[in-house]
Amino acid sequence: MSEPREAVPAQRAWMSAVQKVGMPIISTVLAIGVGSLIIWIAGYDPGAAFAALFKGAFGGPRQTGETILRSTPLILAGLAVGYGFRAGLFNIGAEGQLMMGGLLAAWLGVQMAALPPMVTIPTLIVAAALAGAAWAFIPAILKARIGAHEVITTMMFSHIARYVVAWLTAGPIKAPGQIPQTVSLTESAQIPRIQSLFSEGAIEAFPYLNLGRAHLGVLIAIAAAVGIWLVLRYTTLGYENRAVGLSPWAAETAGISVQWTTVKALCISGALAGLAGGVEVMGLHHRIFDQFSSGVGFTGIAVALLAKNHPLGIIAAALLFGALSAGSGTMQLEAGVSQKIILIIQALVIFFVAAEGIVNWFIRKRQKEVASGAE
């Protein structure tokens, strides 16, 4: 669609600003609006539902901690999907890479139980990232060499990962007892909770420091976001990644190896997803069990799209989805609305962000009105 070239520069600048920051906000508001409509049609009170949701997400230190806790893996999963997107790759299988990252961290953590945290924690973090990268490597090679679509291959690898975890936790690395899960990591392999940084006196003086289950993994996630932002902005690796994403043909002509860049991008994407799994295991569950991730990899897709694949925007988007996830339990408990509405809102956010055509259509229509009204 040809943009109206006669538009005055100020108006164009306004439009681009709207599209960068305003679009995600408009999309979120629209999604919550349609979500409210669905809640209302279903016979509940949307006001009460969202009040309960907000209370569950930010109503107190514990609730805020829960939001931070849920946002942590979403930042990493969002980065994983977003980094792939920047190279024109749709890593729909972040879920599987996440599981493999968690699996290796859970297994290796038990093997390294006798070592000090200064050794264990960094090792496990690196191991989780490598496991995620390894799980993305085969789809990456297949994409680069044969052209097998990564949407299908990474998805299939997610299913395979699910059964690998189910098999190992039910048999070879199962903890004694009825439940299929591994033994708990010793404290030396756990990422400490945020509140462990403060003395009891400090927490008594400032109750808001008692952030419940939130752990320091959030710092790893934020550091990763800043790191990816710097990589995309200032390094050759990031430049090649973006170039291939914008136009593989132009990149090839400019001497960039599209195949090699594809492999690197999907492996880095997988590494970030694996990191998300490792951080979940080390910070929250302290072990791995069947289906431990509950769709974090998929929510990462919504997070990345909402943030338009911008690493720093992903932090904000992950916080929003973390809050939705943390508050959904309270919403179900107090307003009786099924938590599943959160999935619907996520889908609507994707629609509204992706369908920029809707907003562009509104803008064009408005410009026509303005043009005809200005006469």
Partner 1 sequence: MLSDIITPDLFAAALRMATPLALAAIGGTICERSGVVNIALEGIMLIGAFFGTATVLATGSPWLGVLVAVLAGVGISAVHALASVNLRTDQVVSGTAINLLALGLTGFLMELWYGHPGTTQPIPTLQPVFGFGAMGDGFLGEVWRWINGVFLSHTPLVYLAVIIAVGAHWAMYHTRWGLRLRALGEHPRAVDTAGVSVARGRWMAVLMSGALGGLAGANLSIEQVGVFQEGFTNGRGFIALAANIFGRWTPIGSYLASLLFGFADALQIKLQPFRDVIDLPPEFFLMVPYVVTVVVLAGVIGRAVGPAQVGVPYEKG
Q: Which residues bind partner 1 (CB under 8 A)?
A: 1, 38, 42, 90, 92, 138, 142, 146-149, 151-153, 155-157, 159-160, 163-164, 166-167, 170-171, 298, 301-302, 305, 338, 340-348, 350-351, 354-358, 361
Q: Nearest approach, Cβ of 294 to partner 1 (angstroms)?
A: 12
In the complex with partner 1, the residue whose CB is nearer, 121 or 307, is 307
The token duo for 235 is 């390094």
CB atoms under 10 Å from CB of 2, counted, come to: 4
Q: Nearest approach, Cβ of 349 to partner 1 (angstroms)?
A: 8
Q: Nearest approach, Cβ of 188 to partner 1 (angstroms)?
A: 31
Which residue do the tokens 């006798």 mark? Answer: 114
Q: Distance between CA 161 and CA 152 in Å, rounded? A: 14
In the complex with partner 1, the residue whose CB is nearer, 120 or 328, is 328
Q: Nearest approach, Cβ of 113 to partner 1 (angstroms)?
A: 26
In the complex with partner 1, the residue whose CB is nearer, 251 or 301, is 301
Q: Distance between CA 211 and CA 67 in Å, rounded? A: 10
In the complex with partner 1, the residue whose CB is nearer, 214 or 306, is 306
Q: Print the SS3 string covering 88-156.
A: CCCCCCHHHHHHHHHHHHHHHHHHCCCCCHHHHHHHHHHHHHHHHHHHHHHHHHHHHHCCCCHHHHHHH
In the complex with partner 1, the residue whose CB is nearer, 123 or 338, is 338
In the complex with partner 1, the residue whose CB is nearer, 151 or 222, is 151
Q: Nearest approach, Cβ of 73 to partner 1 (angstroms)?
A: 17
CA dist list (Å): 111 to 100, 122, 185, 305: 17, 14, 9, 38
Q: Nearest approach, Cβ of 296 to partner 1 (angstroms)?
A: 13
Q: Nearest approach, Cβ of 65 to partner 1 (angstroms)?
A: 26
Closest by Cα among 98, 152, 82 to 296: 98
| Sign of CA pseudo-dihedral 164, 165, 171, 172 | positive
| Sign of CA pseudo-dihedral 246, 247, 253, 258 | positive
Question: Which amino acid, residue 206?
Answer: F
List 289's β-bridge partners, or say none: 181
In the complex with partner 1, the residue whose CB is nearer, 1 or 374, is 1
